[in-house]
Structure formats: C-alpha cells, structure tokens
A and B are shown apart, each in its own frame.
Chain A
Amino acid sequence: MSTEQPAQEAHAGSEFEREPVPTRALLGFKDFVGMYAGEHTAGTELMIGPLFVAAGVSAFDVVVGLLAGNALAVLSWVFMCAPIATRARLTLYYQLEKICGRNLVTLYNLANGVMFCFLAGAMVTVSATAVGVWIKFPMPGLNDLLPNSVGWVVAVLILGGMISIVAAYGYQTVAKIGNIASPWMVLVFIIFGLVGLRQFIDVTGYKVSNLSDLWALANTHIWKGGNPLPGQVKFTFWHVMFFAWFCNMAMHVGMSDLSVLRFARKSWMAIAAGTGMYLGHFLAWLAASILYAYQLHLNPADTDVLPGPLAYRAAGWTGLICVIVAGWTTANPTIYRAGLAFQAIVPKVSRYKVTIVTGLIATIAGAFPLIAMKLLNFVALYGLILMPMGAVIFVDFWLLKKFGCKSYYAEASGKSFNWAAGLAWLVTLSVCTILVQMGPLTKWLAGKGILSDPTRQWLVDHCSVQIFFASLPGWFIAAALYIVISKIYQKNVRPNLG
C-alpha cells in the first residue's frame, strides 16, 4: 500500500500550491513511472501478502483477484482522478478549500493526520520485527492486539523515536535513501517469492517443469483456500479484488493524487500507477504470501505474521535490511506528512514539535500490534474515511453545474464550512458504519427490546456489508447526498454569490 500520500499542504515546499501548475512545469510519463513504482513497494506489503494466506485465499482468488483489483485501481486513477487533475491542475488541499471552505478542510486534515499516524505505526511495527531477529525477544502473534513483551515495546520505542526525530528535522536524507533503495528493494521483494517457490518445490518434492505444474503447486500447497486461520475473515475472489482496488482509495477515488497528477501533461499518464500496482500490490504481495505459506507448511502452528523473520529466512541479512529500509523510508514521510496535516490545525506550534508529538503517537500505536495484524481492515477503513470527499470533488467538478448549482461554492460564497460537503461526508460515514456494524448494532438494539429477533436477523442477512465492500455504495451515497444537499443549501445560503 502506498505510504507517500501527498496530503494536501503536506506538499510543503512544493510549488504552485495556490495556483494551477503552469505548462512549463509539467512532467512526462517517465517521471510518474518511477514515482509510483517506488511509492507502492512499502514495508506494509510484507504484512498484507501473509494476511491473505491467513484469510484462506485460494490460488485463483488471489492471483485473478489481484489482477482485476489492481486494474480497477489503475482505471480509477486514469478516469476519475487524472482528468480532474489535468484540467484544474490544483492541489487536493486548494481544490477542497474552494469547495468546502477552510474549516471543513481542517476537519478533513485531522482525519487524514490521524489515519497517517496509525499507518506510520504499522510501518514501525513492521520494522521492529526485523530488530527482533537480531535481539531475541518475544514478538506479537497473529491475534495479539496488545504488546506482549518489554523487549518488543523497547524496540518499537527506540525505532519509532529515531524515525520521529529524523522526520522532525525534515526527511530529506531518508527520502534520498528511499530513492536509492527503490530498484534494489523491488528486486529483493521478487527474490523473496522466487526463494519461497524453490523452498516449496524442495519440501514437497513437486516436479515443476511448466506453468501448469506451478499452478498445481500453488493450488495445493501455497494458496490452498479453505478456512481462514482463527480470528481472520475468510477472503474470496471478491474480497481480494475489492481490497486491491480500494486499498489506495484515498488516492485515486479519494482524489489525494490530484496533488501529484496535476503535473501530468496528459491524463492518460496516470496509467503509470500500474507500475506500483503490479510490482508492489501484485508481485510483492504474492512473494510475501509465499514466504508465509511456506512457514505454515513447515509448522501449521506457527501462524505469526512477522516480516522480519520471514525475510531473514529467505534472504538473510539482505532480507532484514529490506524490511527495515522499507518500513523506515515509508514511515518517515508518513509521520512528517501527518505532522504537517496536524500543524495546519495548530499553525502557531512549530512543525518540529508537532512532528515529534505525531511521531510519538505513531510509535505508541506501533507498539500495539492491533493495527499491523488487522492491516487489511485498517486499510479498508482508511479508504472509506477519505473516500466521500473524493466523491464531493468529482461531483463538484463534473455534475454540480448540470444540476443548477455552483461549483467551488465555499470560494464563491465566502463560507468557511460548506455544509453540503460536510454533511455528505459525515452522513456517508455514518451510513457506512451502520452497514458495517449491522451485526453488533442490531444485537444491541434487540437486547434493549427495540428490535425483534426476526427483524434483527433480516437486517443482518440483507443489510450487513463487510468493510471491504462498503466504500462502493458509499461513493454513490456521498455523490447523491452532495447533489441533493447542495440544491437545498445553495438555494438558502447564497449571500455573496455574484
């Protein structure tokens, strides 16, 4: 999953923050190919691949699901985000400010910053699992939600503390190391998969002489399907496809990459996101899942998802360095950008202090394995929370005028909080939360005597939606709400419109 989300003003120091990018500053296709390939090969890929295996995916489901889901993600960049980016050529932040007003954007920043913090925490967790290979201490298991040893907490605190300090001073050096590491890291990820495959061939005695043999090995030993591990949700083809499509939802459908793609000469250049998707979200996920499947094959009781030991077994010290570099180079800008998002809320406090506090929160979050071990759910939640604002931007740009409303309403009316956008966001989130939490919610209502058992059962059977699928109906709800509320709101509140 990408970690270098160019969150609005988090692009501090970049140019043209409050004006359209001029023609002379536009970039070519090659610039985007390298950027996307690097961004989507992060430390968290080493968690996601194994979690697919833990979720009981079959070979067809994971391979075809990832091919389809990643294709949909690329198409979302090309047909939803890029056309707006290359026409308006504004940052997400500035475009949102024109639509929503400064106060609502501040609220959006807060949500974005909090999600960044937790995501950075998961990256610290990933890096700390590599430290655990060098210095032996008990590391968290697949179903651990709380830290399980003093050694683990100390390792996370030291690592997270170092990352935070570097982030507070500006992350230039780590960004440079990240750029240098990128081609090497992509290769090491692929090597993980190849080594894992050979280990499977050796341990099973399979004769693999063509693709058909390889597919048979994959079906019978690597991605066997069947029940998920205890505590995990069963993943089908649809889960994998929607996860691959929506894990970067904040960026394509959620429009965060407006800030990046505004520099593209043509909107089709967004197809460069395919490099990131098929290197990071296909090859890297499959490679990491092969390593974990091999671990389970050797010892079915060893269900721990620990990228450090997994990488060490396959590639020795190179694997460990890969885990640390992948975690560090992506946690760093994430903490930095979360800090910038928070600083927009408290502009009088220095960026240094805000980033240190942000890093501290991320580090504490990283000590709790909950986020990393439930990364599939967290990533889905991350996309869900930021998605409605993407729908608002899409509707505002393409549709609102056709419904007789004014685009960029906050700018036109001088409002600092566009209630149409705010309500579209919050109501969509509320509806999606109810759909996702239908089971516990109706159980609680039934316990209070508000719902009968048959009604409860009907609601659970017909209205319950898993978090991986909630974003799709959520987008349409947000879009429809924004149009309807804008019609009402703009009719009543248009004091400064010319």
Chain B
Amino acid sequence: MKSMAKIVSWLSLVVLTVPVVLFMMGRTDLDTVKIVMNICTVVWFATASMWMWNPDTGKA
C-alpha cells in the first residue's frame, strides 16, 4: 500500500509539471493548467501523507 502511494504521489508531481511545460510551449491555456495543478495538489497531499507522515518527524 505504501509503495503504491509512493508511486502515485511522485507521479502526481510529474503530472503537475506537464501542463506547465505545455503552457510554456503554447499548447494549452492557463485555466487548464490550473485545474490539473489543483487535482495534482490534492493527490500529492493525500498520497504523500500515507508514506511521509513519519511519527518521529518534527518532534518539538
């Protein structure tokens, strides 16, 4: 489960950048870029939390 979440989360970061590259090349519009970025952001936080939420991290 953790390794699957890891793959999905890293993939979400890759997908996050793809529309921006397309936008840079003039192949898509900014509104589409924003929608894809929003989705990827949700996916990243949801899946990364599953393997990055280390109970020992950030101890005060």
| Interface of A toward B, CB cutoff 8 Å | 12-13, 170-176, 178-181, 183-184, 187-188, 191, 194-195, 197-199, 315-318, 321, 336
For A336, list chain B residues within 8 Å (CB).
Answer: 60
Contacts A180-B49, A188-B16 aside, 7 further interface pairs with beta carbons under 8 A come to: A13-B60, A170-B60, A172-B58, A175-B57, A179-B58, A191-B17, A318-B40
* B2 in the interface (beta carbon within 8 A): no
A195–B59 CA distance with the chains assembled, in angstroms: 37
Minimum CB–CB distance from A404 to chain B (whole Å) comes to: 44
The 8 closest A-B pairs by CB, nearest first: A175-B58, A316-B34, A170-B60, A318-B37, A172-B58, A180-B52, A318-B41, A180-B48
Report 19 cross-chain contacts, Cβ distance below 8 Å, ordered by A residue. A170-B60, A172-B57, A172-B58, A172-B59, A172-B60, A173-B58, A176-B52, A176-B53, A183-B13, A187-B16, A188-B16, A194-B23, A195-B30, A197-B24, A198-B26, A316-B34, A317-B34, A318-B38, A318-B41
How many residues on the B side are at the interface (Cβ–Cβ under 8 A)? 27
Task: Label chain B's interface by main secondary structure.
Answer: helix
| Interface of B toward A, CB cutoff 8 Å | 13, 16-17, 20-21, 23-24, 26, 30, 33-35, 37-38, 40-41, 44-45, 48-49, 52-54, 57-60
Cβ contact within 8 Å between B23 and A198: yes
Minimum CB–CB distance from A422 to chain B (whole Å) comes to: 31
Cβ contact within 8 Å between A318 and B34: yes
A194–B20 CA distance with the chains assembled, in angstroms: 7
- Contact partner of B13 among A175, A187, A195, A317, CB < 8 A? A187
Cβ contact within 8 Å between B57 and A184: no
A194–B17 CA distance with the chains assembled, in angstroms: 10
Cβ contact within 8 Å between A176 and B54: yes
Known A-B contacts A195-B20, A318-B34, A321-B41; the reply to A171 vs B53 at CB < 8 A is no
For B16, list chain A residues within 8 Å (CB).
Answer: 184, 187-188, 191
Known A-B contacts A172-B59, A179-B52, A315-B37; the reply to A187 vs B45 at CB < 8 A is no
A13–B58 CA distance with the chains assembled, in angstroms: 10
For B30, list chain A residues within 8 Å (CB).
Answer: 195, 199
For B38, list chain A residues within 8 Å (CB).
Answer: 316-318
Cβ contact within 8 Å between B59 and A13: yes
Residue of B nearest to A315 (CB): B37
For B54, list chain A residues within 8 Å (CB).
Answer: 176, 179
Residue of B nearest to A317 (CB): B38
A197–B24 CA distance with the chains assembled, in angstroms: 8
- Contact partner of A184 among B13, B24, B34, CB < 8 A? B13
